[in-house]
Amino acid sequence: MSHKVLGIDVGASAVKGGIVDLDKGEMISERFKIKTGAPPAPIADVVEAFAKIVAHFDWKGDVGVGFPSLVKNNVVYTASNVDQAWIGKDIQKVFGKRVGLKVRAVNDADAAGMAERAFGGGKGQKGTVLLLTLGTGIGSALFRDGILIPNTEFGHLKFKGDIAERYCSSRVKETENLSMKKWAKRLNKYLEHLELLFSPDLFLIGGGISRKFDSFKDQLTIKTEIRPAEMKNIAGIVGAAMAVDA
Ligand code: BGC
């Protein structure tokens, strides 16, 4: 019997879920999304969106969550793009208690990275692989010979007088109305910095904007190989489901 888990990806402005076959790394249901409004959504709205997704699938099994914060042993430690009230909260006590199920969470970028590593573009890849998710914030997942070093938070590296995610996330592209070329030049500078610090063998770029990789790749002049993540918008959900075994 295959191992099925409900994966839920908590984003800054929406919560998305789907049923995942963990043996195949595939989503076997449709992707169900509930918008929670402009970030940071109040904690209660996120919990209700989570409960609606569980109810939508009439789910009675384990639930894995990708959460956009530093998450250690199921506890949330930071809140850059989510309600500050999340800090110190135990995911089981908040989400698990609401639906009466076992819920395990990991950082959202680590989740996407785990999915890409097991089933997507990072499969079988040796050496140092760094996946970045470009969205409201910048998430990072760092692997060495397939082993994840969790909660790296490279979007929070001090960069250009602020932190990197406030310089070149895809939200910054929108809020500062940057052309693709201008934004990609910023991204390239950040990638150069990461290249200097970590000497990766491969960069994988995830997040919604990675679908447009072909329209900005020419601005990326780094020496390291760089590819868009392969699993597109399901990496976060598949990886979230993997959290139940993490
Ligand atoms: C958070 C990370 C998260 C990333 C992407 C950052 O602001 O600090 O934990 O992975 O956004 O959602």
pLDDT digits (tens, 9 = 90+) for 89-142: 999 999 999 999 999 999 999 999 999 999 999 899 999 999 999 999 999 999
Quickly state the pLDDT bin for 151 (edges 50, 70, 90). very high
Cis status of the peptide bond prior to 42, with omega within 30 of 0 = no
Q: Is the pLDDT of residue 61 over 70?
A: yes
Q: What is the mean pLDDT of the chain?
A: 96
Q: State whether residue 181 is helix, strand or coil.
A: helix
Are 219 and 241 contained in the same domain?
A: no
118 part of a folded domain: no
Q: Cα 101–107–113 angle (5° rounding)?
A: 110
Task: Supply the pLDDT for residue 2.
Answer: 66
Tell me whether residue 168 is in a domain. yes
Q: Do both 208 and 152 map to the same domain?
A: yes
Distance 86 CA to ligand 1 centre (A): 13
Q: Is residue 53 part of a domain?
A: yes
Distance from residue 219's CA to the centre of ligand 1 (Å)? 24
Dist. CA 244 → ligand 1 center (Å): 20
DSSP 3-state assignment of 124? Answer: coil
Q: Which residues contact 37 (CB under 8 A, 6 or more apart)?
A: 13, 45
Q: Give the model's confidence band at 71: pLDDT under 50 very low, under 70 low, under 90 confident, else very high.
A: very high
167 and 69 share one domain: no
Same domain, 104 and 139: no
Which residues have C-beta within 8 Å of that of residue 142, sequence separation ≥ 6? 113, 128, 129, 130, 131, 148, 149, 152, 154, 198
Q: How far is the CA of 99 from the centre of ligand 1 (A)?
A: 25
In CATH, what number is assigned to the domain containing residue 183?
3.30.420.40
Whether 69 and 51 share a structural domain: yes
Say if residue 98 is in the same domain as residue 138. no
**pLDDT above 90 coverage of the chain, percent:** 96
Percent of the chain with pLDDT over 70: 99
Q: How many domains does the chain have?
A: 2
Is position 115 within any domain?
A: no
pLDDT of residue 233: 83
Whole-number pLDDT of residue 236: 96
Candidates 138, 158, 163, 190: which one to mutate for ligand 1, based on the most atoms within 8 Å of Cβ? 138
Identify whether 140 is part of a domain. Answer: yes
Q: Which domain holds residue 193?
A: 124-229
Do residues 218 and 239 share a domain? no
